[in-house]
Amino acid sequence: MFDIKSLEGHTTHPTRPHTQRKRLVSSPDLGALAATDRQTTTLKHMTNYDTHRDNNRETSDHELSESEYITTVSTPNLVRTIASLLLGGAVGVMGFAIAPLLKVILLIVLAGAGLLFITIHPYRRDVSAAYMNRYGEYRTTVRRLIPLFPDWLALMILPVIPMQGTFLGIIAFVVASVYNYLVFPWIDGTAYTQEPDTP
């Protein structure tokens, strides 16, 4: 026999509507999400900026540490050779039998090119760093100008020599070029970076 009472517990009341309960899920707070995204983006930018700043600082420290230990500099052979030939050419033109105005123009062009080539070459930065590390400053002194005195003397004497011509010009060019090549470390100051005393 069936238990009527047990069946009554599983039957639905005909007059009571059947309701299904749904779990309510709260919608996300868009304002909070936007604020979180902004904070995350800001943190990323700050991290990238700090990383970039640290990298630049490491590079600057590395460059500074390299320049701090530069105390001795040698003249590059290319600079020494080309500048010596240009300065020698400036002296040599004064021995050729050409117009005085042309001599002056060639003198200015050749001497200016030689000095400019010395000045713009990257090794001058090492020379400046060596002077700063050794003596605390970089300056041009009379001691560095003395080696140029024979060049100046030749420029004064050659124009008044009666035997102007190709032979005199070539001889003056060769002698002046060899001389400038030999004394070039004292002209550009690299020789003084190898001495303990103040230039």
pLDDT the model gives residue 115: 92
More confident residue, 122 or 137: 122
Residues 81, 177: Cα–Cα separation, whole Å: 9
Residue 21 domain flag: no
Question: What's the whole-number average pLDDT of the chain?
Answer: 74
Residue 9 domain flag: no
Residue 91 domain flag: yes
Residue 69's pLDDT band (boundaries 50, 70, 90)? low
Please provide the DSSP assignment of 74-117 as one string. ---HHHHHHHHHHHHHHHHGGGSSS-HHHHHHHHHHHHHHHHHH
Residues 88, 176 contacting (CB under 8 angstroms): yes
Residue 100 domain flag: yes
Residue 146 domain flag: yes
Residues 172, 130: Cα–Cα separation, whole Å: 34
Closest alpha carbon to 94 in 33, 182, 44, 160: 160
Residue 79 has pLDDT above 70, yes or no: yes
pTM of the model: 0.61
Residue 102 has pLDDT above 60, yes or no: yes
Residue 137 has pLDDT above 90, yes or no: no
Mean pLDDT of 150-159: 94
Residue 168 domain flag: yes
Residue 55 domain flag: no
Residue 1's pLDDT band (boundaries 50, 70, 90)? very low
Range of the domain at 139: 77-193
Residue 149 has pLDDT above 80, yes or no: yes
Residue 182 domain flag: yes
How many domains, in total, are found in the chain?
1
Residue 132's pLDDT band (boundaries 50, 70, 90)? confident
pLDDT the model gives residue 188: 85
